[in-house]
A = this chain, B = another copy of it.
Amino acid sequence: MTFAQLRSFATVARMGSLSAAAHALGVTEPAVSSALASLRRDLGDELVVRCPGGVRLTPGGERLATAAAEMLRLEERVRREVGDAREARTLLRLAVAPTVAEYVSAPLLDAFTRRRPGLEVAQEVAAPEDFAALLADRRADVALGPAPGPAPGVEAVPFLRYKLVVVAAPAHRLAGARDVPLGALGVERWLVGPGAAELERLFAQRGLPAPVRGAFTTEAAAQAAAAAGEGVMLAIAHTVIDAVRHGTLARLDIRGTPQDAMWHAATLDGARRSPEADALRRFVVTPDATQAIVARPGGVPAGRFRPPVYVSIWRAVEAG
């Protein structure tokens, strides 16, 4: 599999015909045909089958087309970026847990980049269990989220304590009840955002089976559903303060909550850490950073961020 072959294939997929692709690429048809033959041999799939007027993709061909387009875009982009990088424009790559992406990173990065004009930040939402691999592969300079498991060459510093509380609609049967054992909530519908690790851990710690859950694409949507009486939710305290104060949500007094937890900033160890990563790692533990995150920021001024080049992949499959 070479880039030239992928380029041929991507063009075939787009054009729906080998000869059209050959014309578009400025080569003869056998050149495209032979690139295709190489890919077929390499991948063990027909990739395309003949059809009236040209060629149609097999299921495998569809997947290759997707990946090929992706790889070619990456290749083109990296050519541009490596060139740009010489003119001292620095890039800080972040991997963040879903919750951090939703509540922490925007105000944090707003405050951080304000002090460092010219710095460019790319952020990627990832699962905390991938943090170590992301750092080792240099796909991220800093990872923000729950403490990653210890990994060689990776150092994590805690930077923000947060509390997990259970909330529900004010009309909930347990609103106002005192010191409720968690087991009493096993039959509830638990609403979760994109990550449900904390909830699972909470139940697992007490030896309880994981409860029924309703998954939302964002934490905020799950909160709105909780406010509408659709279930209970394990929420980060400072994100529901306003809602509780306004009486939209009520905190349930569940035994063992509020539960304390810490967000960590993980980087490679000292020598292999970039100056920017080091700067962010030092910044996140300052009071200014904490202030920026906790002070309900009202969003980041639009215009400081590029229109979000925001690629997310989410797979849905049938139930187990």
Residues of A near any B CB (own CB < 8 A):
1-3, 10, 13-14, 16, 43-45, 47, 56-60, 62-71, 74-75, 77-79, 81-83, 85-86, 88-91, 93, 98, 101-103, 106, 109-110, 113, 117-127, 136-139, 141, 189, 191-192, 194-196, 212-218, 220-225, 227-228, 230-231, 242-243, 246, 248, 272, 274, 296, 298-320
Contact = CB atoms under 8 A, between A and B. Distances in A.
A60 B74 contact: no
B65 A85 contact: no
A210 to B, nearest CB: 9
Give the top 10 A-B pairs by smallest Cβ distance, nearest first: A220-B220, A214-B299, A65-B138, A213-B302, A67-B78, A60-B82, A59-B85, A60-B85, A69-B137, A215-B302
- The number of times this chain is found in the oligomer is 2
Given A81-B63, A224-B242, A216 B316 contact: no
B102 A221 contact: yes
A318 B101 contact: no
Contacts of A302: 192, 196, 212-215
A138 to B, nearest CB: 4
Nearest to A68: B78
Contact of A77 (B67, B141, B303, B310): B67
Given A218-B102, A311-B126, A315-B305, A1 B1 contact: no
A125 B312 contact: yes
Nearest to A118: B318
Contact of A307 (B10, B63, B127, B221): B127
B45 A125 contact: no
Contact of A194 (B70, B223, B310): B310
Contact of A225 (B10, B82, B299): B299
Contacts of A141: 62
Contacts of A91: 59, 62-63
7 contacts: A43-B83, A63-B82, A113-B316, A192-B299, A215-B301, A225-B296, A305-B314
Nearest to A88: B59
Nearest to A248: B248
Contacts of A319: 301, 303-304
Contacts of A312: 101, 123-125, 310-312
Contacts of A314: 122-123, 305, 308-310
